[in-house]
Amino acid sequence: MIKKLLSCIGILLFSILLAGGFVAWQSYHFWFQSPTKDAETVLYTVEAGAGFSSIADDLAEQHIINSKNWFKFYTIINGTASDLKAGVFELKPGMSYSDIMKTLMVAPNSEEVSITFPEGYTVKQMGELVAEKFNITPEEWSVMTGVNSPLNNHNFVLTAQKPAGVDLEGYLFPDTYRFFVEATAEDIVEVMLDTMENRLVDTGAFNSDFKFQSEISNLHELLTTASILEREVRTSQDIPQVADIIYKRLKIGMPLQMDSTVNYFTGNNTPSISLADRDIESPYNTYLNTGLPPGPISNPGIDSLKAAVSPKTNDYYYFLTDAKGEVFYGVTFDQHITNKNKYLK
């Protein structure tokens, strides 16, 4: 009986030692391990106000840590979860939890860069500004904003129902931003997508169920309309009027005949296009094709977005803009020709 009892105690002690050894191995493996050999440094961004749980989840998704649960457990034991700083940090997959926390607890000496994107700029023009301020090549920008952008699965892009064959033109909100100097093309484009989504919510483009509500069928068409408005007229008084003209023409199947859409594919920036340009075959040629072009022709600002959502009802079907930016309207084609002969000499 005593031998049996001693045997059971021995087995129990062995199990305890085995479990303790496993925990110790796990602690060493997860808490004190060295960076993976030949692992590339990752620039990891902690946004201001980011919660620790979301940071742990993100570190695991990026394979910087092996277990988010062990990482959370480690920080609970050490009481360091609330000490993380915002900024851009250099991390390596396989870093020990101790080293990761030491890194994230010291605010980086990262310089912030301010960049202003004018309203109506194309993604190409935006990319040229980005290349001047950041270590981002035009090719990297083109990939991130192109037809096959990795951000095509962004919630806003999916909600907008962007067609597969068009890029992110029109989806980036033009504004003044501040980014860390180490920011990538993805960092910048993602923030601009988020901002465009938020600005559209502000315009009333969505109802309480976050369903699109407007005179056109989806957000992509709204962005396309707003981008044309941005390039056609200048003042906040005229933009809603021209928005109504666009919608009326769409409703009756009348070609939009917008010079800005022709300038988009020719690369010109002239207030009045040539007759030869009007005959160039392109899906963006709104003289030869009815309906909206396949996608936006610029990145619209807030006034154009508001006008596309809430046009100002009027009787006009025609308008023109003179060299000074003044807009003249006509109900009939004859009135339009009269205005053209009078104001576009």
Summarize pLDDT for 65-77 with one digit per residue, the tens. Answer: 888 888 888 878 8
pLDDT, greater one: 116 or 105: 116
Closest CA to 333 of 273, 255, 281, 261: 255
With a pLDDT cut of 90, the percent of the chain lying above it is: 55
CB atoms within 10 A of CB 32: 11
Same domain, 266 and 316: yes
Same domain, 300 and 332: yes
With a pLDDT cut of 70, the percent of the chain lying above it is: 86
* Average predicted confidence (pLDDT) for the chain: 86
pLDDT at 32 over 50: no
Q: Is 104 helix (H, G, I), strand (E, B) or coil?
A: helix
Amino acid residing at 182: E
pLDDT at 17 over 60: no
Among 156, 183, 203, the domain-final residue is 203
**Structure-token pair, residue 221:** 């068409």
Among 44, 70, 104, the domain-final residue is 104
pLDDT band at 305 (very low <50, low <70, confident <90, very high): very high
pLDDT, greater one: 83 or 15: 83
Answer whether residue 3 is part of any domain: no
Same domain, 196 and 260: no
Answer whether residue 191 is part of any domain: yes
Q: What is the CATH number of the domain that holds 144?
A: 3.30.1490
**Structure-token pair, residue 106:** 């010291």
- What pLDDT, on the 0 to 100 scale, is given for residue 334? 96
Amino acid residing at 299: N
pLDDT at 14 over 60: no
pLDDT, greater one: 35 or 196: 196
- What pLDDT, on the 0 to 100 scale, is given for residue 180? 87
Closest CA to 71 of 52, 87, 49, 45: 52
Answer whether residue 162 is part of any domain: yes
- What pLDDT, on the 0 to 100 scale, is given for residue 11? 52
**Which domain covers residue 170, as residue numbers?**
112-203
pLDDT at 18 over 50: no
CB atoms within 10 A of CB 20: 10
Amino acid residing at 174: P
Closest CA to 245 of 204, 282, 286: 286
* DSSP notation for 110-128: PPEEEEE--TT--HHHHHH
Among 155, 188, 203, the domain-final residue is 203
- What pLDDT, on the 0 to 100 scale, is given for residue 44? 86
Same domain, 246 and 331: yes
Amino acid residing at 179: F
pLDDT at 101 over 90: no
Same domain, 97 and 119: no
How far apart are the C-alpha atoms of 27 and 29, rounded to whole Å? Answer: 6
pLDDT at 5 over 70: no
Same domain, 329 and 300: yes
Answer whether residue 293 is part of any domain: yes
Closest CA to 55 of 46, 67, 42, 66: 46
Amino acid residing at 114: S
- The pTM score is 0.71
Identify the top-confidence range among 27-31, 82-86, 136-140, 214-218: 136-140
Q: How many residues are listed for the chain in this entry? A: 345
Residue pair 223/301 in contact by the 8 Å Cβ criterion:
no
Long-range own/partner contacts, residues 54-59 (CB < 8 A, 24 or more apart): 55/84, 55/104, 59/91, 59/100
Tell me the H-state helices in 146-292. 155-160, 185-203, 219-232, 238-252, 259-266, 275-278
How far apart are the C-alpha atoms of 326 and 344, rounded to whole Å? Answer: 11
Calculated CA dihedral for residues 194, 200, 203, 205, nearest 10 degrees: -140
Phi, psi of 54 (to 5 degrees): -70, -35
Same domain, 242 and 196: no
